[in-house]
Amino acid sequence: MKIQFTFRHIDEGSHATLESLVRHYVTHELEPVLKPFNPEHRSLHVTVEKAAKGAEKYHVTYRLTLPPKKVLVARAANLDAEQTIHKATLELRRQVKRHREKVSGQENWKRKERRKRLRELKAEVGALPVDRQAEARSAVESLLPRLQDFIRHELTYLQTQGDLPPDYPTVADVRDEAVARVVKAWDVPADPERLYRRLLKTAIDILCKEVEQTRLTEDFASLEDTPEPDAFEVAESMGTAENGFWAPEEVLHIEDLVPDTEAETPEEATEAELRARVYQELANLPILWRRVVLLVHREGIPPEAVARDILDMPVAEVQAVLAHARAYLAARLADLGLDTAGRPPLETAFRVPQQQASGD
């Protein structure tokens, strides 16, 4: 793909290096999602600039032209040139994938399939004895805030990295389907922590299926037959809710996951910086690594229980994943010159719940 460059207030001696960085990230991050579009019908203009001569922060703007007559614009700013270019490339990648989904009609198809699946689940739940439904919902109710927060973390990273569309499924989509599945299969009451693990496993299974479907369909550029919108679709477009299974779209950002803390000392400020950086670096981990980190360090679930009750994998593999994730983060933080001052990055980043799950 032909790339045009514009530099403003950038030392001429660094132009070649910056161009090389852009081409590297475009080749590895952008080109794979651009395959369905004819190379002759797409063009990219990249602007790298600083506010003025001597300024430190880099500003990068991508303008990508795609058929049919679509211009996508992605921007990023950072003190580090490579981080700025990488961030802008990832943002443009997400926009390209979203544009492809709109062209292909995949988003509407997936929403319709989910609505059908949820209606069937609700009907099956409604056929259960009333006392059984009440018992199940009462047990689940107190766990919903924790479940929703975990789903928000999972979705934020999956959507940020382009593994899922930016606004589908929503937190409510996954939460409601997970609850419906657990209630449908309700047998005997479980202690809260075991029930919570069951909800987590169900939510993760749902997300795994969504990621798989996204990967299977992302290579299609169009669908010949798009069904006419039904009454449910009309209601959705008007922003209404149907039996609690639909929520307005929202854009998820990693920055919003980081707990708000007021740093009153230099040590607390350093810790807050470390926490924010760990949250950002988790985005670069493989999905399984990040998921294990969140389950063990954020949810406070022992590796044995994660392996047995949630991920259905050998505990040795879970422990190996944790070791790899810790090693990667330590190396990455060192590369960034971030002083951890002896603080374990993951333990610092996540506040372990006061009531931790036991491995029993």
How does pLDDT run along the chain (360 residues), one tens digit per residue? 889 999 999 999 999 999 999 999 999 999 999 987 767 668 999 999 998 777 789 999 999 988 656 789 999 999 999 999 999 999 999 999 888 777 666 556 667 777 787 788 878 777 778 888 888 888 899 999 999 999 999 999 998 887 887 667 889 999 999 999 998 888 766 789 999 999 999 999 999 998 887 776 544 433 333 333 333 333 333 333 333 333 335 668 888 898 876 666 777 777 788 888 889 999 989 999 999 999 999 999 999 999 999 999 999 999 999 999 999 998 888 888 876 666 777 887 785 433 344 444
CA dihedral (276, 298, 320, 25) in degrees, to 10, reads -30
Query: Which domains does the chain carry?
Result: 3-103 (3.30.160.100), 105-237 (no CATH), 258-349 (1.10.10)
Distance CA 206, CA 307 (A): 18
pLDDT tens, position by position, 297-347: 999 999 999 999 999 999 999 999 999 999 999 888 888 887 666 677 788
pLDDT tens, position by position, 22-63: 999 999 999 999 987 767 668 999 999 998 777 789 999 999
Distance CA 163, CA 179 (A): 23
Tokens of 282: 């988790």
Phi and psi at residue 66, to the nearest 5°: -130, 155
